[in-house]
């Protein structure tokens, strides 16, 4: 049987709505590895955010930070940062507009301030509030950033204006509390390409399970695109197969559909 590399998004895909991984999915991942395949986490979260999940699932390979950090068998093989000039320009514009920003990198996350959107976001992802340092961007690099803007008309206006002002950046809405942004040259697609270029993975069949618009770059790289039943309309349109939802055993059912387990 040919080997496969299978990429999994986290929120809404590998994880249930309560941010846990079900026992059915954990067993499916074990069976996937037993059959000689390589499961890979492909997420907007940075590595420090998912270490516990990697331990729980037994997965040791990841494309983290929307393609910023690439790990193979627990070893960092590539790391990419947003251009410092872009980080500075966006951070200063957000400060002028009274918007809170979060800077993420391999070391952790730092906030420019705290408001209700910030509190709501970190409660939703079940993380403690990061430290606050409004000048952090002046002396540290960022793999990705968040702008805290609600999922409403005002937040859409912020997204549209910033997307026009900073065309080098890609803005994703995958939370009701914030916009996730990375540099356009960095994405899950660029991260997947770096990982798949490793000699040991030459000739392996590739799959991607996802649910959100920030998973769409994966669809341009892998051979088989799988959408969860709870996926966005745009991601479903790009998929070859729609499996059950993240709450109804979608990972196991999708893997069985392709004979991977």
Q: What pLDDT digit, counting tens, does each position of 30-61 carry?
A: 999 999 999 999 998 888 889 999 999 999 99
In this predicted structure, the answer to whether residue 1 has a pLDDT above a threshold of 70 is: no
pTM of the full structure: 0.79
Residue 82: band (very low, low, confident or very high) from pLDDT cuts 50, 70, 90? very high
For residue 9, name the pLDDT band (cuts at 50, 70, 90): very high
CA diameter of the chain: 57
CATH code for 84-183? 3.30.1240.10
Map out the domains of the chain as residue ranges.
Answer: 4-80+187-257, 84-183
Kindly tell me if the per-residue pLDDT of 116 is higher than 80: yes
> What superfamily would CATH give domain 4-80+187-257?
HAD superfamily/HAD-like (3.40.50.1000)
- Per the structure block, which two tokens stand in for 221? 């790289």
pLDDT of residue 67: 87
- Band of pLDDT at residue 107, cut at 50, 70 and 90: confident
Intrachain domains 4-80+187-257 and 84-183 with the same fold: no
Rounded CA-CA distance 247/105 in Å is 30
Share of the chain above pLDDT 70, in %: 99
The string of pLDDT tens digits covering residues 186-204 is: 889 999 999 999 999 999 9
Q: What is the pLDDT of residues 229-239, one digit of tens each?
A: 999 999 999 99
Answer yes or no: are the C-beta atoms of 97 and 121 closer than 8 Å. Answer: no
The pLDDT tens digits of the residues spanning 143-154 come to 889 999 999 999
Residue 20 has pLDDT above 90, yes or no: yes
Contacts of the segment 48-56: beta carbons below 8 A, 24+ positions apart: 48/106, 48/107, 48/108, 49/127, 50/10, 53/10, 53/21, 56/21, 56/26
What integer pLDDT is reported at residue 122 of this predicted model?
95
Contact at 8 Å (CB) between 56 and 45?
no
Residue 63 has pLDDT above 60, yes or no: yes
Segment 167-178 mean pLDDT: 91
């Amino acid at each position: 049987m040919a080997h496969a590399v299978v990429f999994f998004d986290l929120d809404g895909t590998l994880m249930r709505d309560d941010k846990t991984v079900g026992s059915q999915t954990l067993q499916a991942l074990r069976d996937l590895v037993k059959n000689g395949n390589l499961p890979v986490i492909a997420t907007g979260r940075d590595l420090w955010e998912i270490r516990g999940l990697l331990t729980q699932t037994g997965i040791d390979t990841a494309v983290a930070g929307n393609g910023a950090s690439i790990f193979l068998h627990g070893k960092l093989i590539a790391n990419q940062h947003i251009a410092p000039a872009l980080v500075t320009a966006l951070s200063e514009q957000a400060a002028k507009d009274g918007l809170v920003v979060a800077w993420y990198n391999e070391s952790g996350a730092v906030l420019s301030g705290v408001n209700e959107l910030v509190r709501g976001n970190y409660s939703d992802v079940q993380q403690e509030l990061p430290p606050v340092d409004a000048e952090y961007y002046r002396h540290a690099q960022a793999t990705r950033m968040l702008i805290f803007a609600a999922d409403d008309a005002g937040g859409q206006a912020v997204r549209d204006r910033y997307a026009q002002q900073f065309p080098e950046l890609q803005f994703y809405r995958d939370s009701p509390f914030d916009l996730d942004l990375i540099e356009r040259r960095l994405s899950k697609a660029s991260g997947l390409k770096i990982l798949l270029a490793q000699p040991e993975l030459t000739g392996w069949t590739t799959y991607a399970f996802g649910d959100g618009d920030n998973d769409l770059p994966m669809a341009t790289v892998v051979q088989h695109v799988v959408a969860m039943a709870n996926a966005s309309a745009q991601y479903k349109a790009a998929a070859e197969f729609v499996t059950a939802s993240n709450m109804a055993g979608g990972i196991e059912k999708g893997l069985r559909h392709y004979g991977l387990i």
